[in-house]
């Protein structure tokens, strides 16, 4: 299942054209087209139902009638997730590897090749994410101050907070 989840992330976030498909403006792709164009795995509706429902990070979603599927965030290609702005909690967290700390201290958190910087309300989740990339550095972001200063935040259906960038003056290193 993990290999199929990674495959879906690759297709739905980064390279739908690798199997001859394109996402619509909001990141959706027809389930039947995904199934028909996938040769790496034997996908079917039941398997996709399980992957969407059971994915530990809730990376994927269906539209209301389950004819389309998309990734909830993390795209490196242009999509409009059609998320309304949300008022963030006072603080959010971001986990990263220590090798990135010098750059972060100079330029803050930047989105790189993604559409947004990803933040979470849970320090535990941020730690788990950061540990995947090396020696953990846990950052706390003063999102109340950022919002007061005009930064716009979005919240995905799987509770990931998105923002264009986090300037360094709003960051604190927790560990």
User: What value does the mean pLDDT take over residues 47-55?
Assistant: 86
The dihedral built from the CA positions of residue 121, 124, 128 and 133, taken in this order, carries a sign that is positive
Q: How confident is the model at residue 111, as a pLDDT?
A: 85
**CA 128 centroid distance within chain:** 14
Q: How confident is the model at residue 56, as a pLDDT?
A: 67
Q: How confident is the model at residue 175, as a pLDDT?
A: 62
What's the token pair of residue 140?
Answer: 């706390």
**What tens digit of pLDDT does each residue of 101-118 get?**
999 999 999 988 777 899
> What is 86-173's CATH topology?
ADP-ribosylation fold (3.20.170)
Least confident range from 69-78, 86-95, 98-107: namely 69-78
Query: What are the boundaries of each domain within the chain?
Result: 2-71, 86-173
**What tens digit of pLDDT does each residue of 156-166 get?**
887 889 999 99
Q: How confident is the model at residue 76, as a pLDDT?
A: 81
Residue 38: helix, strand or coil by DSSP?
A: coil
2-71 CATH, one of 1.10.800.10, 3.20.19.10, 1.10.260.40, 1.10.10.970: 1.10.10.970
Residue 166: helix, strand or coil by DSSP?
A: strand
Q: How confident is the model at residue 104, as a pLDDT?
A: 94
First-last CA distance in the chain: 33
pLDDT at 74 over 70: yes
Q: Are 71 and 12 in contact (CB under 8 A)?
A: yes
User: What value does the mean pLDDT take over residues 71-77?
Assistant: 82
User: What value does the mean pLDDT take over residues 122-131?
Assistant: 90
User: What value does the mean pLDDT take over residues 82-94?
Assistant: 93
pLDDT at 132 over 80: yes
């Amino acid at each position: 299942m993990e290999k199929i989840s990674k495959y879906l992330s690759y297709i739905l976030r980064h390279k739908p054209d690798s199997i001859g498909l394109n996402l619509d403006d909001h990141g959706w792709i027809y389930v039947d087209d995904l199934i028909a164009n996938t040769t790496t795995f034997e996908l079917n509706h039941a398997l996709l139902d399980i992957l969407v429902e059971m994915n530990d990070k809730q990376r994927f979603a269906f539209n209301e009638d389950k004819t389309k599927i998309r990734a909830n965030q993390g795209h490196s290609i242009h999509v409009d997730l059609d998320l309304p702005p949300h008022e963030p909690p006072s603080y959010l967290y971001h986990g990263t590897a220590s090798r990135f700390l010098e750059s972060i201290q100079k330029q803050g958190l930047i989105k790189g090749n993604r559409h947004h910087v990803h933040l979470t309300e849970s320090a535990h989740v941020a730690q788990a994410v950061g540990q995947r990339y090396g020696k953990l550095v846990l950052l706390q972001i003063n999102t109340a101050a950022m919002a007061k200063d005009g930064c716009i935040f979005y919240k995905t259906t799987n509770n990931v907070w998105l923002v264009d960038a986090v300037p360094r003056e709003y960051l604190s290193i927790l560990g």
